[in-house]
Structure 1
Amino acid sequence: MITLTDVKKDYSDKVKIGPVSVEITKGGVTALVGPNGAGKSTILTMVGRLLDIDSGTIEVAGHDVVNTPSKVIAKILSVLRQENHFVTRLTVRQLVGFGRFPHSKGRLTLGDEKYISEAIDFLDLTDLENRYLDQLSGGQRQRAYVAMVLAQNTDYVLLDEPLNNLDMQHAVAMMKQLRRAADELGRTVVIVLHDINFAAHYSDKILAMKDGQVVEHGTPEQIMQDEVLTRIFNTDVQVIQGPNGPLAVYY
């Protein structure tokens, strides 16, 4: 479980996050949604200890992320940020190998190689593992970054807008693979998404933020309501029943 208790981050007198108190249960996919600037990515990066909190506590699997040693946290949770872009010339396999660093400290074992291969296979990158990142399409490169995170083999996987710059086909494929990671690998996936319809279709829980606060937290069925979405996104929203479940239409 991920537990945030009275967590605050103040950027200025006008830009504040929190206080946020919420529990994200272990297992499945939890989507963080909300308008731009709502605080979704800030919360995710604070949970991943990539950004300091000003006050409050964050625990992941019972470990306080502020006080627990990095080497311990890195074996519990892994994080993919929006700006994860390597400029050096790396192959897919070399990139995915970085996910094993908390375990290998740079000296890969046969066990590490096994996890690397499994992550590459899981993301359908086997035919590309010796290709350089700058030779890949945007969708292929994004899959390689996610494979790197999965190779870390943590129970908790945090992803900050992994669908950015992906077309619809690749975005759907990515969400299906993340859903599989939760269902088949037992990972707890927490993901920042802009598209509420992706969140509704692939998530078990949706956590909605607005103005630095958590304003809704529930199942897709609970969140996919006209009045709830209109309140979250400050625009008129109608939920209709599509062939595969509810769809939000903005107008």
Structure 2
Amino acid sequence: MIILDKISKAFGQQRVVSDATTDFEKGKVTTVIGPNGAGKSTLLSMATRLVSPDSGTVVINGKAISDWNTAELAKSLAVLRQANSMTMRFTIRELVAFGRFPYSKGNLTAEDNDAIDQAIHYLDLAELQHRYLDELSGGQRQLAFIAMVIAQDTDYVFLDEPLNNLDIRHSLSIMKTVQRLAHEMGKAVIVVIHDINFAACYADHIIAMKKGCIVANATVNDVIQADVLEDIYDTPFNIVEANGKRMCLYY
């Protein structure tokens, strides 16, 4: 389990996250929602040691994140940030192979190649694996980056807005993969996401942020409520149920 205990972060005079406390359990999808500027990406960055908190602690499996050796930390958690630009020309397979770097340091073994094959097949990318990234659609490239994260084979997977600029087909594919990673492979998957309905359909737990604070931290049904969402987003919502799932109608 990863535990965040009263972590805060300011950039200059701007306090971005204030006294945030939560945890991330293996076997569950946790989505982090909230309006722009709420502190979602900064929370994720502190949870993954990309940014150091000004106060508070982050603990992974009982050990403070600051005490982890970098190489060992890379075997425990993987993070896919919003901006994933590559200046060099790689095929999908070459990109996915980077996920094995914490284990192989660039000298791929048979075990590494097996992990690469599994990640590629998991996302149905086998037929495209020798295509270059600049030959792919945005959705295909995003699937390739997620395959790289899967090949890293960590207990904790953090995805920062993985659905940005994707069409509905690729968005659905990614969220279904996210759910499988948690429910079939037992990983803790934490997703920063803007689409509330994707959060409602595919998450087990939702953390909602507003102005740097965690204002809701509960099950999907407890958070996907009109009054809760209206407080978070300052806009009216209508909640309907379909096939056992709660959905938001905007008006």
Regarding TM over 0.5, the answer is: yes
Match of 1:134 in 2: 134
Deviation, 1:243, is 4.0
The equivalences for 1:23-38 within 5 A come to: 23-38=23-38
Stretch of structure 1 that moved more, 6-15 or 68-77: 6-15
Summarize the alignment of residues 29-68 of structure 1 with structure 2, pairs less than 5 Å apart.
Answer: 29-68=29-68
Q: Does 1:13 align with 2:10?
A: no
| Residue in 2 that maps onto 1:98 | 98
1:109 aligned partner, one-letter code:
T
Question: Shift in Å at residue 21 of structure 1?
Answer: 1.4
In structure 1, list runs of 5 or more residues that go unmatched. none
TM-score w.r.t. the length of structure 1 is 0.97
Distance 2:87 2:164 in 1: 18
Distance in 1 separating the partners of 2:69 and 2:84:
23
Q: 2 CA distance for matches of 1:82 and 1:72?
A: 24
2:154 matched residue in structure 1: 154
Query: Where do residues 89-128 of structure 1 align in structure 2 (5 Å cutoff)?
Result: 89-128=89-128
Q: CA deviation at 1:145?
A: 0.1
TM-score of the superposition, structure 2-length normalised?
0.97
Counterpart-to-counterpart distance in 1, 2:56 and 2:214 = 15
The residue identity in structure 1 corresponding to 2:120 is I
CA–CA separation in structure 2 for the residues paired with 1:234 and 1:60: 34
Instruction: Quote the Cα distance in structure 2 between the aligned partners of 1:243 and 1:155.
Output: 31
For residue 63 of structure 1, report the CA deviation from its aligned partner: 2.6
- Residues 27 and 185 of structure 2 are in contact (CA less than 8 Å); yes or no, is this contact kept in structure 1? no
- Which AA in structure 1 matches 2:31? A
Q: Distance in 1 between matches of 2:121 and 2:25?
A: 28
Are residues 1:246 and 2:226 paired? no
Alignment correspondent of 1:178: 178
Check conservation: 2:16, 2:42, Cα contact below 8 A.
no
Task: Give the aligned residue type for 2:203.
Answer: S
Q: How many residues are paired up? A: 251
More displaced stretch, 155-164 vs 78-87:
78-87
Instruction: List alignment gaps of at least 5 residues for structure 2.
Output: none
Q: Aligned partners of 1:10, 1:229: CA distance in 2, in Å?
A: 26
Deviates more, 1:181-190 or 1:112-121: 181-190
Query: What is the CA–CA distance in structure 2 between the aligned matches of 1:230 and 1:201, rounded to whole Å?
Result: 19
Separation in 2 of the partners of 1:119 and 1:215? 36
Q: For each residue in 1:209-251, what CA deviation from the matched residue of structure 2 results, as whole angstroms up to 9, or x when unmatched?
A: 1110100011111111110110111111111123452111222
- Aligned: 1:72 with 2:72: yes
